[in-house]
A and B are shown apart, each in its own frame.
Chain A
Amino acid sequence: MADRREQEVLDAIERRRRRPTRKLLDQQITLAHGAGGKSTHALIEALFLPELRNPVLEQLADSAVFDANGTGGPRLAFSTDSYVVRPLFFPGGDIGELAVNGTVNDLAMSGGRPLFLSAGFIVEEGFPTEELRRVAASMAAAARSASVEVVAADTKVVERGKADGLYVNTAGVAVLDSEVELRADRVRPGDRVLVSGTLGDHGMAVMIARGELELEVELDSDTAPLNALVGALIEAVPDGLRCLRDPTRGGLATVLAELALAAEVGIAVDERALPVSPQVNGACEILGIDPLYVANEGKLVAFVAPEKADAALDAARSHPLGRDAAIVAEVRPEPPGLVLLETAFGGSRVIDMLAGDPLPRIC
């Protein structure tokens, strides 16, 4: 009896998770709306999508994929992202490099070849010219190494105290070769889930770089352009690759939860297989944060047909950005929409999207 009631409650939660948010309950925007988890989804579904709705936007993928209508040209991918990272310079990268790689990666997840970027700079009055030069130079270097060009740009200056130094926006286009088709609805039970390397490096490196935690950990952000790695995967397993995702804000956990819901499949993650560096593991342990929810800026998640999983893993591992790649999960028919983690301890638990910011436990 009690068990049946428990099941009814759990079923109601699952129904509710599947229903898009129609009404935004929050009276004002909080930092949680920018964290990439549940609140961000609610904001998009209940506020932006109803106003801006169209079939391309509705896909809500890392980048929009569409035909260049009437031109007879190839399919294009288009994406934009804004960068408000603090500090602007952190171990392993800076805001400029991040802005180039971030948009390149959003585009690359469509399977396309990123070609051109735009850049918008919102600069605070009083910002040192030399630092802006450093940012521009590191954008140029990142663009070169990703084989893209910044072909349009804009600058705005705002009053002192308004933009925390510098915000950067980038947008970009990529072309898709005709046969590439990477979408969440292509994911099937049996597929394997590959991650291209260690998890949580970027988020933890930036948090530590803020210096508020007084932790001394040598840790670099993983910011890197993934288009070459994607190219290598497509070449190795052209018909085995189902879907690619970029586990940035919200981390691997959020990406898997989104995919499980979108493809109506279950995903079983093996905790022992998750690649996490000892530095990230240690810092997360101290702060009470789960590395599964920490942002990556140079990692991809690939859903691969089971018979191609080994080939995909070999291809990833032969690429410098995929050295630590691992198969971490398997897609299953049951339970649809849910991600389950099999813990190293021998138990299991649910993995859901991030609620709020990853705030540490206090004791």
Chain B
Amino acid sequence: MRFVDEYRSGEVAARLAERIAALVEPGRHYKLMEVCGGHTHAIYKHGVEDLLPDEIELVHGPGCPVCVIPMGRQDDAIAIAERPEVIFTTFGDMMRVPASKGSLLDAKARGADVRMVYSPLDALKLARQNPEREVAFFAIGFETTTPSTALTLLRARAEGARNFFVFANHVTIIPAIRAILDSPDLRLDGFIGPGHVSTVIGTRPYRFIARDFGKPVVVSGFEPLDVLQGVYMVLRQLRDGRSEVENQYTRVVREEGNLLALRAIADTMELRTTFEWRGLGFISQSALKLRPEFADFDAELRYEVPGVRVADPKACQCGEVLKGVIKPWECKVFGTACTPDHPIGTCMVSSEGACAAYYNYGRYAGRRRREAAPA
């Protein structure tokens, strides 16, 4: 397939792997965080770690949009979905996220009208097709998906839609990265920076990581060669003693981002004072809600929801996994009580969650690594 295969070439990967190995200082351990769940998925799906020397450890970051939605918000979503007048629309992965009393898939089995959509525009279309019903859209995601919600809101207003509502849960990546850098639990050497988020926000917002924390950042694409080249570029900075924001994903990401998308977001949404993230707790100014001008489309104003904070199940360590403090297999319930078919935590649900990626794809990697290592 053109524009895909060239970023998955085994021959190019092997050459790049050699150059990475040559950059490794003997005896030094490198801990790099890939911020995005998309990276985590690509790393496991293509077996990228198999090409890296043992000295390089990839730590999975918080950039999995499904994973960071806290239990209380999921309960609120189900409460909206269970209203008889509502057609509740959501991206596929959110259907299986466990809330206090089962998932949206369970609510659907109980009779709630829950439908999977690929885009908020599909939800708006459903609203047009069902004028006697109310269509609510479960808006989640980082800056990658926020512009599509923003543009849908603009279109809904232009069309004069009266039965379309957005349950906004959009989050922003920078506060989450800052929270991880501020946390004493983790010593990172550098970052594989978000690719798609950066197409929207550009590369400038990451400068504080390089400037204030002295860590290299390389914004990278999502094909396995992108990730491998991102690792190479971070290691090159470390060898040279530099800490800068570099852009590996130049075919898509501009330094200034996408101004039209940013304007659409600013026109429709504004920062919340604070928002709860699963595992990371409350982070100030880290999420978006609809602006007052769009109150008529705001599901949080339209429907009464429980709106209570619900603690994660005790055994669940998604928070530690999301911060990169523990590996998926270090969680007490990983693979036993918590599996992809019966997930307890969000990291086991989303294909971008570190636990699901490790369980589904990476399970054999550890054993092979140990067998290859000299006794």
Report if B105 contacts A (CB, 8 A): yes
Q: Is B312 an interface residue (CB 8 A)?
A: no
Q: Does A7 contact B (CB under 8 A)?
A: yes
Of all chain B residues, which has the CB nearest A213? B118
Interface string of A1-33 (1 = CB under 8 A from B): 011011101101100100000000101111110
Evaluate contact between B1 and A281: CB separation under 8 angstroms. Answer: yes
Answer whether A10 and B91 are a contact pair too, CB < 8 Å, given A340-B364, A346-B47.
Answer: no
Q: How far is A346 from B340 in the complex, measured between Cα atoms in Å?
A: 26
Binding site for B on A (CB under 8 A): 2-3, 5-7, 9-10, 12-13, 16, 25, 27-32, 37-39, 42, 212-213, 278, 281-282, 285, 287-288, 335, 338, 340, 343-350, 352, 355-357, 359-363
Residue of chain B at shortest CB distance from A16: B336
Known: A213-B118, A288-B351, A348-B50. A13 touches B335 (CB 8 A): yes
Q: Does B314 contact A (CB under 8 A)?
A: no
Contacts of A10 in B (CB 8 A): 329, 335, 363-364, 366-367
A-B contact list, 29 entries, CB within 8 Å = A2-B330, A3-B366, A5-B329, A5-B330, A6-B327, A7-B367, A9-B329, A9-B334, A9-B335, A12-B335, A31-B105, A31-B109, A32-B96, A38-B341, A212-B118, A285-B4, A343-B224, A345-B46, A345-B225, A348-B368, A355-B360, A359-B93, A359-B95, A359-B116, A361-B38, A361-B352, A362-B65, A362-B92, A363-B352
Chain B 207-229: CB-based contact to A (< 8 A → 1; otherwise 0)? 00000000000000000110000
> What's the minimum C-beta distance from B119 to chain A, rounded to whole angstroms?
9
**Contact of B45 (CB < 8 Å), options: A213, A340, A349, A357:** A349
Q: How far is the CB of B345 from chain A (nearest CB, A)?
A: 14
Q: Is A361 touching B46 in the complex (CB atoms < 8 A)?
A: no
Cβ-based interface call for B320 (8 A): no
Check B341–A349 contact: CB distance below 8 A. Answer: no
- Indicate if the CB atoms of A347 and B92 lie closer than 8 Å: no
Distance in angstroms between the alpha carbons of A340 and B106 in the assembled complex: 32
Neighbour of A363 across the interface among B44, B49, B145, CB < 8 A: B145
- Taking a contact as CB atoms under 8 Å apart, the answer to whether A355 and B339 are in contact is yes
Total count of chain B residues near the partner, CB < 8 A: 67
CA distance A343 to B7 in the complex (A): 13
By a beta-carbon cutoff of 8 Å, the part of chain B in contact with chain A is: 1, 4, 8-10, 13-14, 17, 38, 41, 44-51, 65-66, 91-93, 95-96, 102, 105-106, 108-110, 116, 118, 122, 140-142, 144-145, 196, 224-225, 327, 329-330, 334-336, 339-342, 350-352, 359-370
B327 to chain A, nearest CB (A): 8
Nearest chain A CB to B250 CB, angstrom units: 20
Question: Is the beta-carbon distance between B109 and A356 smaller than 8 angstroms?
Answer: no
- B364–A348 contact, CB under 8 A? yes
Name B13's contact: one of A16, A38, A346, A361 (CB within 8 Å).
A346
* Contact for A345 among B10, B109, B330, CB less than 8 A: B10
Task: Select from chain A the residue with minimum beta-carbon distance to B103.
Answer: A30
If A39-B341, A361-B38, A363-B38 touch, whether A344 touches B10 (CB-CB below 8 Å) is: yes
Tell me the smallest distance from the CB of A33 to a CB of chain B, in Å: 9
Cβ A282 vs Cβ B1 within 8 A: yes
Complex: A94 Cα to B293 Cα, angstroms: 49
Residue from A345, A346, A348, A359 in contact with B92 in the complex, judged by beta carbons closer than 8 Å: A359
Q: Contact between B105 and A347 (Cβ–Cβ < 8 Å)? A: no
Q: Are A347 and B50 in contact (CB under 8 A)?
A: yes
Q: Besides the contacts A28-B106, A361-B93, A363-B38, what 6 more A-B pairs have beta carbons closer than 8 Å?
A: A13-B359, A349-B365, A352-B359, A352-B360, A359-B92, A363-B65
Report the 9 A-B pairs with minimum CB-CB distance, sorted nearest first. A347-B47, A359-B92, A355-B340, A347-B50, A349-B361, A13-B335, A38-B341, A362-B91, A345-B46
Whole-angstrom distance between the Cβ of B14 and the nearest chain A Cβ: 6
Chain B residues within 8 Å of A340, by CB: 364
Q: Are B50 and A346 in contact (CB under 8 A)?
A: yes
Complex-state Cα separation, A212 to B118, whole angstroms: 9
**Given the interface contacts A340-B364, A344-B8, does A212 sit within 8 Å of B122 by beta carbon?**
yes
Would you call B362 and A350 a contact (CB within 8 A)? yes
Chain A residues whose C-beta falls within 8 Å of the C-beta of B142 in the assembled complex: 363
Enumerate chain A residues within 8 angstroms of B66, measured Cβ to Cβ: 362
Q: Within the complex, which residue of A29, A42, A282, A347 is in contact with B46, where a contact is CB–CB below 8 Å?
A: A347
In contact, A356 and B10 (Cβ under 8 angstroms): no
- B contact residues around A213 at 8 Å (CB): 118
When the two chains form the complex, which single residue of A13, A31, A39, A361 contacts B363, counting CB atoms closer than 8 Å? A13
Give, as a whole number of angstroms, the nearest-CB distance from A286 to chain B: 9
The minimal Cβ–Cβ distance linking A252 to chain B, given in whole angstroms, is 15
Which of chain A's residues have a CB closer than 8 A to the CB of B108?
30-31
Shortest beta-carbon distance from B166 to chain A in Å: 16
Q: Name the residue on B nearest A32 (C-beta).
A: B105
- How far apart sit A287 and B144, CA to CA, in the bound complex (Å)? 16
Q: How far is the CA of A29 from the CA of B109 in the complex (A)?
A: 7
Task: Please indicate the chain A residues that have their CB under 8 angstroms from the CB of B339 in the complex.
Answer: 16, 355
Contacting residues, chain A, for B364 (C-beta < 8 A): 10, 335, 338, 340, 348-350
- Residues in chain B near residue A212, CB distance under 8 A: 118, 122
Of the candidates B38, B47, B96, the one whose C-beta lies within 8 Å of that of A343 is: B47
Contact at A7–B366, with CB atoms within 8 Å? yes
| Chain B, Cβ-Cβ closest to A342 | B47
A38 CA / B348 CA spacing, docked (Å): 15
Contacts of B1 in A (CB 8 A): 278, 281-282, 285
CA distance A7 to B363 in the complex (A): 9
Report A-chain residues with C-beta under 8 Å of the C-beta of B342: 25
For A25, list chain B residues within 8 Å (CB): 342
Min Cβ gap A305→B in Å is: 26
Whether B4 and A350, one on each chain, are in contact in the complex, defined by CB atoms closer than 8 angstroms, is no
**Known contacts A285-B4, A345-B224, A359-B116; is-contact A350 B360 (Cβ 8 Å):** yes
Q: Quick check: B109 and A363 within 8 Å, CB to CB? A: no
Tell me the bound Cα distance from A74 to B250 in angstroms: 68
How far does the alpha carbon of A10 sit from the alpha carbon of B141 in the complex, in Å? 31
B118 adjacent to A361 (CB under 8 Å): no
Complex Cα gap A282–B96 (Å): 26
B145 neighbours in A (Cβ, 8 Å): 362-363
The smallest beta-carbon distance between A44 and chain B, in angstroms, is: 14
Cβ A6 vs Cβ B341 within 8 A: no
Residues of B within 8 A of A348 (CB): 47, 50, 364-365, 368
